[in-house]
Structure 1
């Protein structure tokens, strides 16, 4: 565990030269392969390092995802940063700095350490959007993201400080503190208030419907690496925080959670409908992320083992799928110089291999077999339905609409007449094939080791 943290930080010391980009990419590849081998080792056991850092199965799988996606971000940004010579050293420093912050955040056992790095992850992301974004509106998008997330996380800080002062313990795994039988917490309003204070920061980070407006703006203005890290890792930080807070506060639930549960599910249906009104590739994929994360939230709040298993599997599968979709949107943008669904038509005639990858990830987005997305939804649906049969309609609608907008995204961009303004002779380079393959393989072949899923939580 400490080796992974030290290795993530040490890559920052790679010298700034012509080979520095590729050395950092290979170093990330090596560390991510080692972390995957650790996941699949037969003698895997629970480990505790000290009072500040810990390693368990849930953090380990998200660390592997973080390292893998960090390598993919460098690979996807070759054209726009490395070849264009667009502040290469600063860009790699931001990526690797964010990678190190996320690794420590997932490994943190001390609640204040986790909160600090949870908030610190915003700074490199903001700098990525401001420094390498596409349009002048990126400043507004960055401010949106900062104000939403920082304002929502301040109540969490107050709750954590109150909890530490009352229990004199800051270890997330060694304390179970929420004494619901006390006079204060036995009051309904106090329990609901505490629920809101604890989970508000993570619901914004996730994001849940009604506090999701920063996400499409940030995605549209971010460079491809910014979109990939936002969708694949930073959203998972919100889901991971919810699961960890359940453990830390020994949370048993309150009446307010029923409202959040219902809002998440019906909000997922509404955002799925909103997808059909989008004209921008990245905006559509961002809204689809809100729908998928609302399903993950429902699994986490279902208070069942299967719901938690399904939530973690959905987080991992969505990380691979959404990251690949944003990379594909970037490749299409580099070809046509527009992200409009109305203007991008007939890409099947220009680049049939790129269309094949669009199809593969579109069907993965709708949870088609053999992707682990399907397994996550299969585990999620019984957990949510057994919580309340009233959620059947929203689950069915969300599943149906996910298939519909995935097909809509594919047919709008790949079919139709060829655009007159597209570059006719630019090719799809081998690095693009590798990038897509490295997203597709783990997202589909992890289902062959489904017995490991039950060790992850």
Structure 2
């Protein structure tokens, strides 16, 4: 793991000190090297993962998110080549540094064993995204999006800081392994345990974000560059789910059953309402952003259930959604770079111009709606099944959320690929090899996730 941190730190240095002629190629090479090194270390050797957990803090919850982060960094660099061609090299160098800094902070977040280091690295990931939105955003509204981003971040982070200080006073330490022995016994009979519970989890609810705390996300997605949207959808939203899973066990013996019922109901209802809101969106990027809110609300509902199987379903849905949502933003960016608009009424008929692009849209939309055998279907099925164990009425509500997700995913494909093309868009550039590779490397891991359970079943 030290090699991974050293390599990611090397990526930071290359982005500032590297030669102007080779900085892009070297950054992509080092990013791919980090990803391949993660695959070698975290393969299928359970003993290696267990030993890494006791020394650094990685386990079966954080390892998939680390690999996802390493996989996406070279893809964000590839996606940014077209956008940054209009800026000078100093701006490009700063942009690469910020993306590399996000990767370095994610490593610290997913591998920290102390809650204070987790909090610092967690908040550090927000600074580069804020700079990317405010500096490289395409419209003047990027400043309003930055204000929303800061406001909601402070709304969640300050109560969490108060919670950290309170836990440190009672336990004398913020070291994760100590919590299993002392945390529950200290807080289970305390009158203020529910307050600490709320302060601890509100930062992650805002970060995911769950419906009701989501207003910053569509604005941030619409104003961010393609790399910012990819990182927000694929990794940074997953920090909220990771924090919920990591800290939920510390309150497992505290009796919050009625509060959990309320939160599960709120998350599942928010997932359904978000699907309905997607029907009212005219901006393609905003529609994809609201679909992320709906999926992450369902993930939060599975996490608040607290069952082992529901947590596994939430992890599957988080990883698959990270790949699918990032791929959808890349596809939307391809259309925006050729038509200079994201309005669904204007972006249409691309099947007649770039026929093979319709195939990528079909696969991405099918994966987003949870069509079997894509991993989204497996994650949603596990979560809905566990919701039925709690209350069978949740099955109908979550099923309605899945149905609305299927409808707006099919609408995205139908509106962008079908209908008569507008004459102004008839002379557009073909998709080049870099853009085809970008979409392929988003969808290729999904097929690996499909084949892995099948191979295990055959071997069994």
Change (3 A) 1:182 1:232: closer
> Which residue number corresponds to residue 102 of structure 2?
98
Query: How many residues are treated as equivalent by the alignment?
Result: 450
Q: CA RMSD in A?
A: 2.1
Change (3 A) 1:20 1:83: farther
Change (3 A) 1:332 1:387: same
TM-score by length of 1: 0.94
| In structure 1, C-alpha distance between the alignment counterparts of 2:139 and 2:202, rounded to whole Å | 30
- Do the aligned residues in 1 keep the contact of 2:42 with 2:48 (CA within 8 Å)? no
| In structure 2, C-alpha distance between the alignment counterparts of 1:317 and 1:50, rounded to whole Å | 24
Structure 2 matches for 1:143-292, cutoff 5 A? 143-176=147-180, 177-179=182-184, 185=190, 187=191, 190-250=192-252, 252=254, 254=256, 255-292=258-295
Instruction: Give the Å deviation of 1:43.
Output: 4.9
Structure 2: runs of 5+ lacking an equivalent:
none
- Do the aligned residues in 2 keep the contact of 1:347 with 1:413 (CA within 8 Å)? yes
Secondary structure of 1:174's aligned partner: helix
Does 1:12 pair with 2:12?
yes
Instruction: Give the Å deviation of 1:97.
Output: 0.8
- Do the aligned residues in 2 keep the contact of 1:53 with 1:110 (CA within 8 Å)? no
| In structure 2, C-alpha distance between the alignment counterparts of 1:157 and 1:266, rounded to whole Å | 29
- Do the aligned residues in 1 keep the contact of 2:58 with 2:111 (CA within 8 Å)? yes
Instruction: Give the Å deviation of 1:399.
Output: 1.1
| In structure 1, C-alpha distance between the alignment counterparts of 2:187 and 2:103, rounded to whole Å | 41
Secondary structure of 1:55's aligned partner: coil
| In structure 2, C-alpha distance between the alignment counterparts of 1:301 and 1:236, rounded to whole Å | 15
Change (3 A) 1:193 1:422: same
Determine which of 296, 310, 314 is the counterpart of 2:313.
310
Does 1:122 pair with 2:122?
no
Instruction: Give the Å deviation of 1:390.
Output: 2.2
Structure 1: runs of 5+ lacking an equivalent:
none
| In structure 2, C-alpha distance between the alignment counterparts of 1:52 and 1:120, rounded to whole Å | 23
Determine which of 435, 449, 456 is the counterpart of 2:452.
449
Secondary structure of 2:341's aligned partner: coil
Structure with greater helix share of residues: 2
- Do the aligned residues in 2 keep the contact of 1:101 with 1:117 (CA within 8 Å)? yes
> Which residue number corresponds to residue 365 of structure 1?
368
| In structure 2, C-alpha distance between the alignment counterparts of 1:383 and 1:174, rounded to whole Å | 30
Instruction: Give the Å deviation of 1:234.
Output: 0.5
| In structure 1, C-alpha distance between the alignment counterparts of 2:299 and 2:384, rounded to whole Å | 11
- Do the aligned residues in 2 keep the contact of 1:52 with 1:110 (CA within 8 Å)? no
> Which residue number corresponds to residue 32 of structure 1?
35
- Do the aligned residues in 2 keep the contact of 1:172 with 1:244 (CA within 8 Å)? no
- Do the aligned residues in 2 keep the contact of 1:105 with 1:114 (CA within 8 Å)? yes
TM-score by length of 2: 0.93
- Do the aligned residues in 2 keep the contact of 1:370 with 1:444 (CA within 8 Å)? no
